[in-house]
Structure 1
């Protein structure tokens, strides 16, 4: 996983990822766009490229569809379009775009993007109508036209049971939030995805479950401590979001989000991290030495995740470009786990 980055750096990271046995990159969107980093990486290496996620609502579905279409073409079908709603404050106050109602809106958005794909391929005229989007004009000169690869798969970011059911109903895969535990994955993610798929008369055999993992790996305590404390800080940051409080409740730690928000409002980052005790932390991290981490990842995610994403991978690579090479035998071992 990486955020958007300077484009030459994205190309270098893609080459290193390919050389070290990684299947691909998941590129998030924050200060830089995910799409431009995907384009740079696509021109540098033959790897899977996933936006994880690109923010949907500030862009017209047509704009998103055109970008995804070109990236699918450039990667020969190795691009997956990951979309998410973001949160209200960012959509309304940073992007100045409509947010409500986020669930029904993202459902219509995915339908609109797929209608654009059909129109680009010439399968049907552009004639999409929903509660939130209407697209009815695509003169030939404005269409990118057919491409060789299939339509880009569309994955949806989902946390709540409602959004997980929607992903199972209308998407090709789900981006699970980094704030995930084995309990949450087994008791919430899988059943809700299956319920959504059943509602649509679908099956999940080819459905992608993309799971970011806080991997705490190192052969010395100091090496592991660095990643463990970074994970603790990230969990505190994510856990301060009210919508995610149920994840802590399910672990038997009610009130965790309230405690995090209280310290966040006081601007006390250290106190926020302290809320995430070792007992809480162990549910969110996968820990091991370089010799044992592959088994630890397999034990936690086999039978649940179709793609495990190294949350700290790009951070470590930025500090040491040779770091990814240590993951090559691990990536090869994990590729054989069903």
Structure 2
């Protein structure tokens, strides 16, 4: 089980320093989300500053970029990372894709499936000079040496997708190399949905489920005093209320025994009551959806919850402050050393 740091993209001049500190602290890698800044440029800056660090986009928005453009960017990053780059892709939600990016969002699941296959076809074209992908949404069949990135001395990048509902999880198991589990993906949800649905997709394409990486974001409440843990608990409560406001994720709360959580959060959201949104997340929610521990016990607690299931865990709040960052790094080293033992 590898341990990564989750971060939003930084100003490029500061990304290199953060990557070096991440590597020195003992983490296996960094996962860059995509918000107002692009994940791809941050990966490039991190790769040049900290050779050997495993880097991924988690996740980059697919549809606003053509599959060829995405494939070319991933190809260059894989080369820069020495084979340590993973391309994480997601659909985002309709409002962002249509109203912010200005592109189509119809049939997002099948479109993303075709997109992944098109990206992989482009990887093949960079090596062979032949591009021949014909899908329901993308048709690519023209490439010349001048417009090809050409072969690289590294394997093709792994392509991972963000998936929540059963169809997307099966699709990921069929055509992708990994799944970005949702931040609300507690162990029960992973056991009920992620593992069996990914296995169904893998079987469809003649692969073993073990070939598909499960990349799991982890929210933690960690501290050696009640005060520390209270402060962390409130930060986690706010994060969970943000993610839990999306209607498509309501079933995750419901199945865990917290029926109606999304509806209650959305009522507060519509009223502009941010504190009220967070208040809908009880300590009982946090006990199920987050990992709470002392510092000495955190590695064992994470191993108990995700060992044997997650390929990579991504620490959601490791960058809270420099002192805690170093302590999270020690936890990451313990988990990595246990894996190698």
Which category describes the TM-score, using the shorter chain as reference length?
A: over 0.9
Partner of 1:100: 106
Partner of 1:288: 293
Deviation at 1:181, TM superposition (A): 1.1
Note the residue ranges of structure 1 that are not aligned, 5 or more in a row: none
Corresponding residue pairs, total: 333
Partner of 2:180: 175
What is the TM-score with the length of structure 1 in the denominator?
Answer: 0.96
SS at match of 1:287: strand
Q: Is the 8 A contact 1:16 1:324 kept in 2?
A: no
Note the residue ranges of structure 2 that are not aligned, 5 or more in a row: 1-5
Q: Is the 8 A contact 2:203 2:209 kept in 1?
A: no
Q: Is the 8 A contact 1:217 1:227 kept in 2?
A: yes
Q: 1:34 aligns with which of 16, 39, 61?
A: 39
Partner of 1:331: 332
CA distance in 1, matches of 2:227, 2:42: 33
Residue 74 of structure 2 is aligned to residue 68 of structure 1: yes
Residue 218 of structure 2 is aligned to residue 213 of structure 1: yes
Partner of 1:11: 16
SS at match of 1:155: strand
Q: Is the 8 A contact 2:247 2:262 kept in 1?
A: yes
Deviation per residue, 1:99-158 (Å, 9 max, x gap)? 110010000001110111011011x51121111001122111111100000000000100
Moved more, 65-74 or 228-237: 228-237
SS at match of 1:216: strand
What is the TM-score with the length of structure 2 in the denominator?
Answer: 0.95
CA distance in 2, matches of 1:110, 1:131: 12
Residue 98 of structure 2 is aligned to residue 54 of structure 1: no
Deviation at 1:286, TM superposition (A): 0.4
Q: Is the 8 A contact 1:81 1:153 kept in 2?
A: yes
- Structural mapping, 1:220-259, within 5 Å: 220-259=225-264
- Structural mapping, 1:74-89, within 5 Å: 74-89=80-95
Deviation at 1:78, TM superposition (A): 0.3
Deviation per residue, 1:232-283 (Å, 9 max, x gap)? 1111111110000000110122111111111100000111111111111211
CA distance in 2, matches of 1:30, 1:121: 32
Stretches of 4+ moved more than 4 A in 1?
A: none
Q: 2:159 aligns with which of 154, 179, 193?
A: 154
Residue 123 of structure 2 is aligned to residue 117 of structure 1: yes
Moved more, 203-212 or 92-101: 203-212
CA distance in 2, matches of 1:331, 1:241: 31
SS at match of 2:214: strand
Deviation at 1:327, TM superposition (A): 2.5
Partner of 1:43: 48
- Cα RMSD, aligned residues only: 1.1
SS at match of 1:254: coil
Deviation at 1:337, TM superposition (A): 4.2
Residue 107 of structure 2 is aligned to residue 91 of structure 1: no
- Structural mapping, 1:178-217, within 5 Å: 178-217=183-222
CA distance in 2, matches of 1:9, 1:178: 26
Moved more, 102-111 or 280-289: 280-289
Q: Is the 8 A contact 2:74 2:157 kept in 1?
A: yes
Q: Is the 8 A contact 2:174 2:204 kept in 1?
A: yes
Deviation at 1:336, TM superposition (A): 3.9
Deviation at 1:180, TM superposition (A): 1.4
